[in-house]
């Protein structure tokens, strides 16, 4: 139960480009909501990580098994809620996740390309190089008006993002 909102714990996908803060925000939000958390990076097969490490963007054939694995995690957590990160840059990718977890809500961390580029360049413990930031923004399709979700400013402090989510969160769908 999300006691801050007084209803069942949500099933959330924290989405956005690499370096938008998905993992930091998603883990903190999951702790606040007292639900399980999963990082989409942990679902990538070694071949995907090697490809991105070499500066080569993934194609849809690379993404499909990864997205299905994330969708399966969402489906497994539908009853108790959970938070998972996933770039979910295209509508088709979000549709695939919704096929397995129709009740999922998307929280899009969005903001300035230069802020993201700086963040990615400063990371020393991640496989995604700064050279792929532009391809991420080029691929990004914003949430459509018919998609359950909200957009938050990736440059805000984590606690402010959590408060903004709790204030604006759409109620979970009826199951």
Give the tens place of pLDDT for each residue, 120-133: 666 555 555 555 66
Which structural domain, as residue segments, surrounds residue 157? Answer: 11-168
pLDDT of the residue at 126: 52
Angle made by CA atoms 52, 60, 139, in degrees to the nearest 5: 75
CA–CA dist 123, 137 (Å, integer): 18
Residue 2 has pLDDT above 50, yes or no: no
Q: Is residue 138 part of a domain?
A: yes
Residue 38 has pLDDT above 60, yes or no: yes
pLDDT of the residue at 125: 59
Q: Is residue 101 part of a domain?
A: yes
CA–CA dist 159, 115 (Å, integer): 19
Q: Is residue 173 part of a domain?
A: no
Q: Is the pTM of this model over 0.85?
A: no
Evaluate whether 48 touches 118 at the Cβ level (below 8 Å).
no
Q: Is residue 2 part of a domain?
A: no
Domains held by the chain: number: 1
Q: Which residues of 2-23 are buried (b: 16+ CB within 10 A; e: fewer)?
A: beebeebbbbbbbbbbbbbbbe
Q: What is the CATH number of the domain that holds 55?
A: 3.40.50.300
Q: Is residue 174 part of a domain?
A: no
Give 127-168 pLDDT, tens digit per residue.
555 556 677 788 889 999 999 999 998 889 999 999 999 998
Q: Is residue 87 part of a domain?
A: yes
Query: H or E segment at 162?
Result: helix 158-168
Tokens of 106: 């998307």
Q: Is residue 97 part of a domain?
A: yes
Q: Is residue 175 part of a domain?
A: no
């Amino acid at each position: 139960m999300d006691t801050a909102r007084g209803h069942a714990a949500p099933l959330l996908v924290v989405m956005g480009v690499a370096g938008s803060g998905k993992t930091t925000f998603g883990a903190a939000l999951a702790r606040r909501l007292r639900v399980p958390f999963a990082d989409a990076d942990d679902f990538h097969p070694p071949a995907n990580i090697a490809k991105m490490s070499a500066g080569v963007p993934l194609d849809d054939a690379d993404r499909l098994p990864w997205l299905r694995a994330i969708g399966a995690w969402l489906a497994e957590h539908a009853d108790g809620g959970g938070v998972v990160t996933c770039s979910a840059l295209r509508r088709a990718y979000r549709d695939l996740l919704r096929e397995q977890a129709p009740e999922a809500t998307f929280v899009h961390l969005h903001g300035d390309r230069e802020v993201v580029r700086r963040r990615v360049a400063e990371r020393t413990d991640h496989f995604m190089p700064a050279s792929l930031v532009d391809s991420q923004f080029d691929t990004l399709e914003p949430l459509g008006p018919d998609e359950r979700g909200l957009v938050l400013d990736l440059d805000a402090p984590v606690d402010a993002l959590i408060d903004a989510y709790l204030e604006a969160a759409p109620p979970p769908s009826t199951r």
